Amino acid sequence: MTDNPFMTMKNIDKSFNGVPVLKNVSLKVEKGEIHALLGENGAGKSTLMNILGGVHLPDNGSVYIDGEQVKMLNPRISQEQGISFIHQELNVVADLKVYENMFLGSEIRNKVGFLKVEEMCRETHDVMATLGVDIDPKEYVRNLDTSYKQLIEIAKALLRKSRLIIMDEPTTSLAEHEVNRLFELMRSLKQSGVSIIYISHKLKEIKTVCDSYTVLRDGELVGTGSMERENPETITKLMVGKAISQERYVHENPFGPVIMEVKNLTSEGLFNDINFTLQQGEILGFTGLAGDGRTELFESLFGYRKKYSGEVRINGELVKIDHPRKALKAGIGFVPKNRKENAIIKDLSVIHNMSLSSMGNFESSGFLRDNLEKERFQYYKDALNIKVHNPQITIDKLSGGNQQKVVIAKWLEANTDILIFDNPTQGIDVGAKQEIYQEIVTLSEQGKAVIVLSSEAPEIIKICHSINVMYQGEITARFDGKSANEEEIMQYATGSKREAKKIG
Amino acid sequence: MANIDAKEYSTKPSTTKSRLSWLWSEYSVIIAFIVIFIASAILNPRFMDLNNQLNILMQVSIIGIIAMGMTVVMLSGGIDLSVGSVLALAGVISVLALNASGSILVGIFTALLVGSFAGFLNGLMVAKGRIASFIATLGMMAGARSIALYIADGGSVSGEVAGFTAISNSDLWIFDVPVIIFLAMTAAVFVIMHKTRFGRYVYALGSNEKAALLSAIRVDRIKIGVYTLIGSLVGIAAVIETSRLNSISSSSSGAQYELDAIAAVIIGGTRMTGGRGKIIGTLFGVLILGILNNMMNLMNVSPYLQGFVKGLIIIIAVVFQKRE
């Protein structure tokens, strides 16, 4: 490596509410290189990039641009230094024209204050031309493909004379040929001396396009170097780490009869030809990266999404589930991910959140009985160790782990034979995590059939009897929980490997 | 990634100050009512007269019944602008049915039917058609008024059945019948919202529709139920309105009732976006509006200025509630 990198971050420390997120992390990006920033969810990538972008201030450490120390106090300073951030969700306004998006917030105006439309169009056209694309600057953005929207973001970065572009998982919403176009573009940017920090999970892509890499794990720098000398396996190992506990919670209890059978389930653009069976007492895991379609798959099975085809049998009977209520009647419960948006009713009390899916249990002659609800809640409070002083307070005052336990109690009260957990330990602390794992295992031992979705492979290995790996809407591999290892799962989840024969 | 979980709820409010602020946030509308009531009593001695008090109750009863339904709609996260027009339509049709049949019961039943059917249509548009409630009920507002005008040829229709006026013009003990109906409806809506699963679902849906759906609640049916409920309450209000003067005007009856009802709900502390609010709050919201109207009349405030005062009160009420 040369001695004058374009951008250096040195010994960055950052913690939120006393929880360290970054520990002594350094990052060096050369002029005109594509640098991969890798790590699992929660490894600290976004925090590091937010520090570079001036969104967060580091507790310790410093940032150098062209060898000079810069204090990134706010996003504006970062932009002035030539750093652009292209987020995973694109920040383009669909109802504006291309040139209007390009100049949003920095429109060219004449002395009176009117917009110089022609000049903006011309400049837009010029920048697009350097990128080798031909878009009418007056086209509405909503009429363009996703890849073009990405182009607009990149063009915007170039227009602002950016010298370092951060791309956060830019390929998740792109089709294959669009990905290739993006890579060509990245290479030509590189030629013109622009540096790129490329955040992605997809090792295959990284291998094709990146020059060097940095891997973070649990907020620490665990590896950095040139891409050429590494192969995807070693990088996966770095990301995952070896020191993870392999202790499994789940025991090999005997399974009961098949309770759920799914055949050829397909939903255009979300998931394709999904087949699996689920037995009583089994814990079945589904894992993969963001955008692999597993959440959509189970939202469909739960009746939240209606546009899918294929067969679902429960206890041998063909069922058509097009509303969550029907799923409940068929015996399926669903603890969704993103608790705040999907699971808790923040204006209702803790008790009322618990009883919401099974109000019939608390009624007598058509009226609700508060004391029945109270008694029942007391039972779950003890059984699940829910820490709450006064269950009449609204649920949003509880910690994440306790909220999740209330949501689980809600579905236990509904008493379904099948329970689906989507990312059940999202945003909750370690202690509560263990308790939830334990509860899931206990449920299976009681004969319930459980499905667990998670992007965290170690979690899936810990608590599942068998594991399905999904990639772009398809099940690409199936492992036995005992023999699965994280690296192999990652290879299938990132698409770098695929089981040759069609499974299922 | 940032750990922003809320802290464990362990400390109860114990200081006097925090207790006071809790009292204020829970019961601000009642406190406001007491303040306005006392101020009115001091400003004008006639205010405390029993007849005046009963008069206020009588005057608010129609808006009050509608406001109860409006509370439920707004708790579900919607709004119903069509109440005034539907009241006129239900009134006109029920008078025709009354005169044709000669039966008071048929008249009442017709008003209820028209009201709840209009509400049901609103519900269908909102729940199944996925039209924003503001738009759907705006359409109903224009449509219902237009049909009422067409049927009555732009004028009024009068009842020809003896005894129909007795509904609004007789008393039970010291209370007028409309007041009793209003209080009974308040109690009924209170029970529905707090003691039945329908009420629980309405709160859930208004607070977080997606989570309600994912909790296996038939969100569509609940919405249809909510609009049908306000529709039938409007039907009841139409009977009272028609019976009071034994006639209903297709052009002016019910005009701007939606604004008064929404104002009462807002003053009562129900959140515009739904999920939070109380029936009791609306009751006091209705009473506050009634006292203000009454006081302005007693103090000879120009009727042209009364709207200004009302607007001011609504805005002040919302500003205070923002502080939560």
Helix H, strand E, coil C: the string for A458-497 is HHHHHHCCEEEEEECCEEEEEEECCCCCHHHHHHHHCCCC
Instruction: Give the span between the Cα atoms of A144 and A15, in whole angstroms.
Output: 40
Instruction: Give the span between the Cα atoms of A154 and A182, in whole angstroms.
Output: 10
The reported pLDDT for the residue numbered B249 is 95
Across the interface, whether the CB atoms of A367 and B196 are under 8 A apart is answered yes
Task: Tell me whether B207 touches chain A (CB under 8 Å).
Answer: yes
The reported pLDDT for the residue numbered A243 is 45
Q: How far is CA A280 from CA A154, A257, A277, A314, A423, in A?
A: 51, 6, 10, 11, 21
What is the tens place of the pLDDT at every residue in B163-218?
A: 899 988 888 888 899 999 999 999 999 999 999 999 999 999 999 999 999 999 99
Backbone angles phi, psi at A475, to 5 degrees: -80, 115
What is the tens place of the pLDDT at every residue in A79-138?
A: 888 898 888 777 788 889 999 888 887 788 888 888 888 999 998 888 888 777 788 889
First-to-final CA distance of chain A: 48
- Rounded to a whole number of angstroms, the CA Rg of chain B reads 21
Closest residue by Cα to residue B82 from B21, B138, B135: B138
Closest residue by Cα to residue A466 from A243, A287, A298, A270: A287
Closest residue by Cα to residue B74 from B277, B280, B316: B277
* A166, A9 contact by CB (below 8 A): no
Task: Tell me whether A20 touches chain B (CB under 8 Å).
Answer: no
Instruction: Give the span between the Cα atoms of A408 and A438, in whole angstroms.
Output: 13
Q: Structural domain boundaries of chain A? A: 7-240, 256-331+416-504, 338-415
Residue B310's identity, in one-letter code, is K
Structure tokens at A106: 């920095």
* A478, A503 contact by CB (below 8 A): yes
- Rounded to a whole number of angstroms, the CA Rg of chain A reads 25
* Domains: count for chain B: 1
Residue A357's Cβ-count burial label (10 Å; 0-12, 13-18, 19+) is buried
Minimum CA–CA partner of A305 in chain B:
B214
Instruction: Give the span between the Cα atoms of A334 and B312, in whole angstroms.
Output: 47
Task: Tell me whether B131 touches chain A (CB under 8 Å).
Answer: no
* Half-sphere exposure at residue A343, Cβ-oriented, CA atoms within 13 angstroms: 31
Instruction: Give the span between the Cα atoms of A383 and A413, in whole angstroms.
Output: 12
Examine domains A7-240 and A256-331+416-504 and report if their fold is the same: yes
If phi over 0 gives left and psi between -120 and 50 gives alpha, with beta otherwise, what is residue A293?
left
Task: Tell me whether B211 touches chain A (CB under 8 Å).
Answer: yes
Across the interface, whether the CB atoms of A347 and B8 are under 8 A apart is answered no
The answer to the question of residue B18 being in a domain is: no
Instruction: Give the span between the Cα atoms of B183 and B61, in whole angstroms.
Output: 8
Backbone angles phi, psi at B258, to 5 degrees: -60, -40
Question: What is the per-residue burial (b if ≥16 Cβ within 10 Å, else e) of B140-158?
Answer: bbebbbebbbebbeeebbe
Measure in Å the smallest separation between the Cα of A344 and chain B Cα atoms.
Answer: 6
pLDDT by residue, tens only, chain B of 324 residues: 334 433 333 334 446 666 676 667 677 888 889 999 999 999 998 999 999 999 999 999 999 999 999 999 999 999 999 999 999 999 999 999 999 999 999 999 999 999 999 999 999 999 999 999 999 999 999 999 999 999 999 999 999 998 899 988 888 888 899 999 999 999 999 999 999 999 999 999 999 999 999 999 999 999 999 999 999 999 999 999 999 999 999 999 999 999 999 999 999 989 889 999 999 999 999 999 999 999 999 999 898 888 888 888 888 877 876 654
DSSP H or E stretch at residue B99: helix B83-101
Instruction: Give the span between the Cα atoms of A364 and A360, in whole angstroms.
Output: 8
What is the tens place of the pLDDT at every residue in A49-73?
A: 989 988 888 999 999 998 889 888 8
Instruction: Give the span between the Cα atoms of A185 and A169, in whole angstroms.
Output: 16
Closest residue by Cα to residue A22 from A228, A216, A241, A286: A216
Interface of B with A in 272-291 (CB under 8 A): 275-276
Q: A387 contacts in B (CB within 8 Å)?
A: 8
* B157, B247 contact by CB (below 8 A): yes
Instruction: Give the span between the Cα atoms of A396 and A228, in whole angstroms.
Output: 49
Instruction: Give the span between the Cα atoms of A22 and B58, in whole angstroms.
Output: 67
Which is it for the CA torsion B115, B116, B120, B126, positive or negative?
positive
Decide if the complex's ipTM is over 0.90. no
Which is it for the CA torsion A208, A209, A211, A212, positive or negative?
negative
Question: B133-151 and B104-127 are packed helices; what angle lies between their axes, rounded to 10 degrees?
Answer: 150
Task: Tell me whether B173 touches chain A (CB under 8 Å).
Answer: no
Task: Tell me whether B130 touches chain A (CB under 8 Å).
Answer: no
CATH architecture of A256-331+416-504: 3-Layer(aba) Sandwich (3.40)
DSSP for residue B8: P
Give the CA dihedral B86, B92, B97, B100, nearest 10 degrees: -170
* Half-sphere exposure at residue A209, Cβ-oriented, CA atoms within 13 angstroms: 30
Task: Tell me whether B12 touches chain A (CB under 8 Å).
Answer: yes
Across the interface, whether the CB atoms of A341 and B208 are under 8 A apart is answered yes
* A388, A332 contact by CB (below 8 A): no
Q: What stretches of A340-473 adopt beta strand conformation (E)?
A: 363-364, 367-368, 418-422, 449-453, 466-471
DSSP H or E stretch at residue A120: helix A117-130
- The helix/strand/coil state of A446 is coil
Instruction: Give the span between the Cα atoms of A172 and A492, in whole angstroms.
Output: 16
Q: Which of A42, A328, A360 sits opposite B1 (nearest CB)?
A: A42
Minimum CA–CA partner of B11 in chain A:
A389
CATH number reported for the structural domain that contains residue B215 in this entry: 1.10.3470.10
Chain B interface disruption, residue of A41, A296, A345, most B CBs within 10 A: A345
Residue A119's identity, in one-letter code, is E
First-to-final CA distance of chain B: 28
Instruction: Give the span between the Cα atoms of B102 and A397, in whole angstroms.
Output: 59
* A402, A387 contact by CB (below 8 A): yes
Could you tell me the residue range of the domain that residue B157 belongs to?
A: 46-321
- The helix/strand/coil state of A216 is strand
Task: Tell me whether A175 touches chain B (CB under 8 Å).
Answer: no
* B93, B265 contact by CB (below 8 A): no
Interface of A with B in 225-244 (CB under 8 A): none
* B58, B253 contact by CB (below 8 A): no
Q: How far is CA A378 from CA A183, A374, A381, in A?
A: 57, 6, 5
Residue A500's identity, in one-letter code, is A
The whole-chain average pLDDT of chain B stands at 90
Which is it for the CA torsion A411, A413, A414, A417, positive or negative?
positive
* A450, A282 contact by CB (below 8 A): yes
> Please, which residues have CB within 8 angstroms of residue A117's CB and are 6 or more apart in sequence?
A99
CATH architecture of A7-240: 3-Layer(aba) Sandwich (3.40)
Chain A interface disruption, residue of B4, B7, B9, most A CBs within 10 A: B9
Instruction: Give the span between the Cα atoms of B165 and B149, in whole angstroms.
Output: 23
The reported pLDDT for the residue numbered A368 is 93
Question: B257-267 and B83-101 are packed helices; what angle lies between their axes, rounded to 10 degrees?
Answer: 130
Q: Which of B2, B6, B208 sits opposite A345 (nearest CB)?
A: B208
Structure tokens at B52: 């005046």
Going by their DSSP bridges, the two strands A332-335 and A418-422 should be labelled as: parallel
Q: A46 contacts in B (CB within 8 Å)?
A: 1
- Residues lower than pLDDT 50 in chain A: 1-2, 243-245, 501-504
Going by their DSSP bridges, the two strands A466-471 and A283-288 should be labelled as: parallel
The reported pLDDT for the residue numbered A475 is 92
Residue A460's identity, in one-letter code, is I
Residue A313's Cβ-count burial label (10 Å; 0-12, 13-18, 19+) is middle
Measure in Å the smallest separation between the Cα of B192 and chain A Cα atoms.
Answer: 9
The residue with tokens 């910690």 is A399
